[in-house]
């Protein structure tokens, strides 16, 4: 796929080139996320296919300004952070598009699931075109709940810890 995209030439350093330019990027690593070893592993895997990834220390102002190629970090686990928070005001990714922010806010404020769906359907093409952020690792959280627990829904409201104030127990039958 890299060759098809024009990155077919390989320089003496083993790095692919297109138009004489090497295929490389910088990846900032958040030291608090304990991802140093992951960064080294990712760097080695990319190097094996001819991509150079420079590991850089996290510089928060650069991230907030969107002035970075890649960032290895973790999403905050407290509060109501979701992936859509990366596309609105105060985005930790530095991405600011007023259309995306308005649609995100519309989806968050919507009560009717169909309105939420419409907002996300309008937001998707904007994010696909801009590609402001790509989550390279899945966030996997297993939840086991009794069938009487109500207020959770997939894929947006799956965490009972995050949405505790919006949950209720279904009354038991006679």
Radius of gyration of the chain (CA): 21
Total count of residues recorded for the chain: 174
Q: pLDDT tens digit string along 82-134?
A: 566 677 777 767 788 899 889 988 988 999 989 999 998 999 899 889 887 76
Longest pairwise C-alpha distance within the chain:
77
CA–CA gap between residue 43 and residue 56 (Å, rounded): 12
More confident residue, 130 or 51: 51
**Tokens coding 77:** 């686990």
Domains belonging to the chain, first-starting first, are 9-138 (3.10.105.10), 141-174 (no CATH)
Quickly list H helices, the chain. Answer: 36-48, 60-64, 98-109, 113-130
**Mean pLDDT (the chain, rounded):** 84
């Amino acid at each position: 796929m890299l060759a098809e995209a024009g990155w077919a030439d390989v320089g003496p350093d083993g790095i692919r080139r297109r138009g004489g330019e090497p295929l490389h990027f910088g990846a900032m690593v958040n030291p608090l996320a304990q991802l140093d070893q992951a960064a080294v592993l990712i760097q080695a895997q990319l190097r094996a296919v001819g991509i150079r990834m420079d590991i850089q220390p996290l510089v928060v102002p650069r991230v907030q300004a969107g002035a970075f190629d890649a960032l290895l970090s973790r999403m905050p686990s407290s509060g109501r952070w979701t992936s859509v928070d990366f596309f609105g005001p105060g985005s930790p990714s530095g991405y600011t598009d007023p259309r995306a922010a308005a649609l995100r806010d519309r989806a968050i404020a919507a009560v009717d699931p169909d309105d939420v769906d419409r907002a996300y359907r309008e937001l998707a093409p904007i994010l696909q075109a801009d590609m402001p952020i790509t989550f390279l690792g899945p966030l996997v959280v297993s939840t086991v709940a009794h069938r009487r627990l109500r207020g959770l829904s997939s894929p947006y409201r799956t965490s009972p810890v995050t949405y505790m104030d919006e949950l209720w127990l279904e009354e038991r039958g006679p």
